[in-house]
């Protein structure tokens, strides 16, 4: 029980926004402008959660389908590497199975892009070597759910978070009506 409480506290601290967090707001949505699509990175799922039906492959397929339905191309790994800023949407789900046949879970969805630092917001510093940075993220989700509801609950939460990304992407990339 102490391990479970410690894990829940750690998730709460992780899920609490900090100053460096790139949340979903007008400033972070600017980083989505002009993106031709995004690569997709689905984090490893714990073996016990996979046995209970929550799999990386299923999350990857659902996420790819949601992006395509929204008109956002899901780039292959090769396309993503060749795209300026190398945009990659990360979907991470952490779980811990409890003795009570429940799971603690934490879900994080963020966009990582390669960026370079600017001096006074005007020109690149030195050689301006790009580095990966979180440029957009949905609010984290975390909680406790019965084991038999883990897959459905996590998939629904991920879909909600992807909806936030889709809305932000479309706000940053409005369709220009034809002349």
21 to 81, 146, 148, 155: CA distances (angstroms): 24, 30, 33, 24
Domain ranges of the chain: 2-10+23-172
pTM for this model (two decimals): 0.82
pLDDT at 71 over 70: yes
pLDDT band per the 50, 70, 90 thresholds, residue 5: very low
The tens digit of pLDDT for each residue in 125-159 reads 566 678 899 999 999 999 999 999 999 999 999 99
CATH architecture assignment, domain 2-10+23-172? 3-Layer(aba) Sandwich (3.40)
* Token output for 132: 């990966």
pLDDT-based confidence at residue 168 (cuts at 50, 70, 90): very high
Whether 115 and 133 have beta carbons less than 8 Å apart is answered as: yes
Burial degree of 44 (CB within 10 A; 0-12, 13-18, 19+): exposed
Where does residue 159 fall: left (phi above 0), alpha (psi -120 to 50 degrees), or beta otherwise? alpha
pLDDT band, very low/low/confident/very high, at 120 (cuts 50, 70, 90): low
Tell me: pLDDT of 13 over 80: no
| Span 90-113, pLDDT tens digits | 999 999 999 999 999 999 999 999
E strand or H helix at 144:
strand 141-146
Q: What is the DSSP string of 65-128?
A: HHHHHTT--B--HHHHHHSTT--EEEEEEEEEE-TTSEEEEEEEEEEEEEE--EETTTEE-TT-
pLDDT for residue 129: 77
pLDDT computed for residue 25 by the predictor? 83
Mean of all residue pLDDT scores within the chain: 85
């Amino acid at each position: 029980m102490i391990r479970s409480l410690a894990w829940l506290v750690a998730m709460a601290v992780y899920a609490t926004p900090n100053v460096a967090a790139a949340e979903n707001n007008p400033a972070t949505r600017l980083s989505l402008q002009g993106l031709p699509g995004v690569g997709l990175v689905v984090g490893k799922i714990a073996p016990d959660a996979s046995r209970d039906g929550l799999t990386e492959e299923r999350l990857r397929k659902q996420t790819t389908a949601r992006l395509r339905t929204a008109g956002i191309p899901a780039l292959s790994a090769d396309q993503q590497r060749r795209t300026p800023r190398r945009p990659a949407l990360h979907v991470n789900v952490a779980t811990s199975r409890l003795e009570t046949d429940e799971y603690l879970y934490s879900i994080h969805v963020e966009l990582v892009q390669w960026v370079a630092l600017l001096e006074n917001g005007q020109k690149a510093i030195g050689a301006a070597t790009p580095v990966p940075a979180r440029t957009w993220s949905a609010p984290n989700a975390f909680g406790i759910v019965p084991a038999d509801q883990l897959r459905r609950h996590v998939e629904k939460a991920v879909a909600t978070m992807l909806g936030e990304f889709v809305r932000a992407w479309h706000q940053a990339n409005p369709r220009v009506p034809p002349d």
